[in-house]
């Protein structure tokens, strides 16, 4: 594709929304560092990751996504292999989530997200047996394999993302609603078994959600993070401390564990108030809406399912992260895409945005009886 055609067809609004979310992340991380008395090292690190992320985002649009379809299964197998390998690495904070090679470290669970979407999109694009209940065994296996491995780390937050994405892609592929309802019902029936496999810490987080401390009451150990998240967000008031000034000189009032990652939405709320929180949600809403619109406009099945998968991924992660910070969901430790601190998550979500824009650049195929045939546009 020529540079002029690339620039004309690129969905610039998605790129702009993504850059704005990255910028909000810088501001939030800088706020955390200021409150902790840091010197700006972490936000500088995030800016360096962001530069690489933007390059990945752009590079992911250059190669025709249908070429990537051929490598979907090997990419998925690689991701599963890394999820097994990570269990052999030393635990950090009682969890095996990082593979570290010298100064370089990354989280395989992040890489598993786009790998899963690509593999599931490839499987569903040619088949129709998933329109029968027994035909859902293979796609369900593709989903449960990374879910179980990530749950073993343990990482309840990341493992909870896959099933909603799976159901959304199945619905987009044409699975029967009755079958999807049966799967959801079966999942609800096995929740007691899942409860027995949870650690004491994970059980305590769910119990805390059901019995949250009242304002002014001293929170228990497992309720402390959620309680502090609400307190920090409330310190900024409606408009945020950026507009109204610092509300307190007590540093303990701002102490919030994992503020740069799992609770970054609270920091945005403290700094920029309701407008900042609304802007963040609106940017995610725009990316999800445009992703679904791209899927609707795409006449090639793999690209359509890929766009739906990426849109669902961003929707689920944004809803879970914000739901946790306001006390509607258990504290799961899920970062906010493109906003939270961390190189692995930022680079992987940038790759996902790049794949979404890649599909938008090349929608000119139509679905016919197998094999699929090219129409209208010819790659230049």
Q: List the single range of 12-26, 184-198, 204-218, 310-324 with lowest mean pLDDT.
A: 204-218
49 has a pLDDT exceeding 70? yes
More confident: 251 or 356: 356
Query: Given this model, what pLDDT does residue 335 score?
Result: 92
Q: Is the pLDDT of residue 377 over 80?
A: no
| Segment 16-36 mean pLDDT | 93
* pLDDT at 378 (0 to 100): 41
Query: What is residue 315's DSSP assignment?
Result: H
Q: Mean of the pLDDT values across residues 277-286?
A: 97
Per-residue pLDDT tens over the stretch 231-244: 888 888 899 999 88
- The distance of Cα 130 from the centroid of its chain, to the nearest Å, equals 26
Report if residue 136 sits inside a domain: yes
Average pLDDT over residues 318-326: 91
**The pTM is what?**
0.89
Confidence of residue 380 (pLDDT cuts 50, 70, 90): very low
Q: What percent of the chain has pLDDT over 70?
A: 84
Residue 160: inside a domain: yes
pLDDT band, residue 227 (cuts 50/70/90): confident
Does 375 or 122 have the greater pLDDT score?
122
Secondary structure class of 364 (helix, strand, coil) = coil
Is the N-terminal amide bond of 243 cis, ω within 30° of 0?
A: no
d(CA 341, CA 356): 22
In a domain, 379, yes or no: no
In this prediction, residues 39-54 reach a mean pLDDT of 91
Q: How many domains does the chain have?
A: 1
DSSP assignment of 217-246, as one string? Answer: SPP-TTTHHHHHHHHHHHHTTTT-HHHH--
Domain annotation covers residue 115: yes
| pLDDT recorded at residue 239 | 92
The dihedral built from the CA positions of residue 340, 359, 132 and 126, taken in this order, carries a sign that is negative
The sign of the torsion formed by the CA atoms of 16, 21, 27, 29 equals negative
Secondary structure in 3-state letters for 169-213: HHHHHCCCHHHHHHHHHHHHHCHHHHHHHCCHHHHHHHHHHHCCC
**CB count in 10 Å sphere of residue 189:** 9
- pLDDT tens for residues 64-78? 998 889 999 999 999
The per-residue pLDDT for range 346-366, each reduced to its tens digit, is: 999 999 999 999 999 987 654
Tokens read off for 197: 């496999």
323/243 Cα distance (integer angstroms): 25
Check residue 306 and give its pLDDT: 96
Residue in 343, 351, 269, 352 with CA at minimum distance from that of residue 47: 343
Lowest mean pLDDT among 35-39, 216-220, 254-258, 285-289: 216-220
Percent of the chain with pLDDT over 90: 47
Residue 156's nearest CA partner among 116, 112, 202, 209 is 202
Q: Quick check: is 168 in a domain?
A: yes
Weakest mean pLDDT among 170-184, 195-209, 364-378: 364-378
Whether 216 shows a pLDDT value over 50: the answer reads: yes
- What angle, rounded to 10 degrees, do the helices at 108-126 and 156-173 form? 20
SS3 category, 247: coil
pLDDT higher for 85 or 329? Answer: 85
Q: Residue 380 falls within a domain, yes or no?
A: no
Mind listing the pLDDT tens digit for each residue in 138-192? 899 999 999 999 988 888 889 889 999 999 999 998 888 887 888 888 777 777 7
Residue written as tokens 């969901």? 329
Distance CA 190, CA 180 (A): 16
Is the model more confident about 34 or about 253?
Answer: 34
Q: What are phi and psi of 250, to 5 degrees?
A: -85, 110
d(CA 74, CA 302) in angstroms, rounded, equals 16
Residue 265 structural domain:
3-374
Residue 341: is its pLDDT beyond 80? yes
Q: What are phi and psi of 182, to 5 degrees?
A: -65, -40
pLDDT above 90: residue 278: yes
For residue 132, the model assigns a pLDDT of 67
Phi, psi of 239 (to 5 degrees): -100, -10
Kindly state the DSSP code that residue 373 receives in the 8-state scheme. E
Q: Residue 265 in 3-state DSSP?
A: helix
Query: What value does the mean pLDDT take over residues 6-21?
Result: 93
């Amino acid at each position: 594709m020529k540079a002029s055609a690339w620039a004309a067809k690129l969905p610039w609004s998605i790129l702009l929304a993504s850059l704005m979310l990255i910028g909000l992340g810088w501001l939030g991380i800088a706020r955390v560092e200021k409150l902790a008395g840091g010197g700006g090292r972490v936000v500088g690190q995030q800016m360096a990751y962001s530069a690489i992320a933007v390059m990945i985002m752009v590079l992911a649009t250059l190669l025709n996504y249908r070429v990537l379809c051929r490598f979907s299964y090997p990419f998925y197998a690689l991701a599963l292999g890394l999820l097994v390998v990570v269990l052999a690495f030393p635990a950090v904070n009682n969890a095996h989530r990082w593979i570290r090679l010298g100064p370089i470290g990354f989280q395989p669970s992040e890489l598993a997200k786009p790998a899963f979407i690509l593999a599931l999109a490839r499987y569903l694009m040619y088949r129709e047996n998933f329109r029968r209940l027994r035909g859902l065994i293979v796609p369900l296996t593709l989903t449960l394999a990374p879910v179980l491995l990530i749950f073993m780390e343990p990482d309840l937050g990341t493992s909870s993302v896959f099933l909603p994405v799976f159901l959304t892609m199945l619905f987009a592929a044409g699975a029967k609603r009755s079958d999807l309802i049966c799967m959801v019902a079966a999942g609800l029936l096995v929740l007691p078994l899942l409860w027995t496999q949870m650690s004491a810490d994970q059980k305590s987080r769910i119990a805390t959600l059901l019995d949250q401390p009242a304002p002014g009451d001293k929170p228990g150990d497992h309720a402390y993070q959620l309680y502090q998240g609400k307190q920090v967000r409330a310190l900024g008031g409606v408009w945020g401390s950026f507009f109204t000034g610092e509300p307190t000189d007590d540093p303990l009032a701002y102490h919030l564990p994992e503020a740069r990652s799992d609770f970054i939405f609270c920091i945005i709320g403290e700094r920029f108030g309701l407008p900042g929180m609304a802007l963040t949600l609106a940017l995610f809403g725009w990316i999800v809406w445009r992703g679904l619109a791209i899927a609707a406009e795409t006449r090639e099945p793999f690209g359509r399912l890929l766009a739906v998968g990426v849109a669902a991924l961003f929707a689920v992660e944004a809803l879970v992260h914000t739901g946790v910070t306001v006390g509607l969901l258990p504290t799961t430790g899920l970062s906010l895409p493109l906003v939270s601190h961390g190189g692995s998550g930022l680079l992987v979500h940038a790759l996902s945005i790049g794949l979404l824009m890649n599909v938008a650049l090349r929608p000119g195929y139509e679905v016919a009886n197998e094999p699929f045939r090219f129409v209208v546009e010819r790659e230049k």
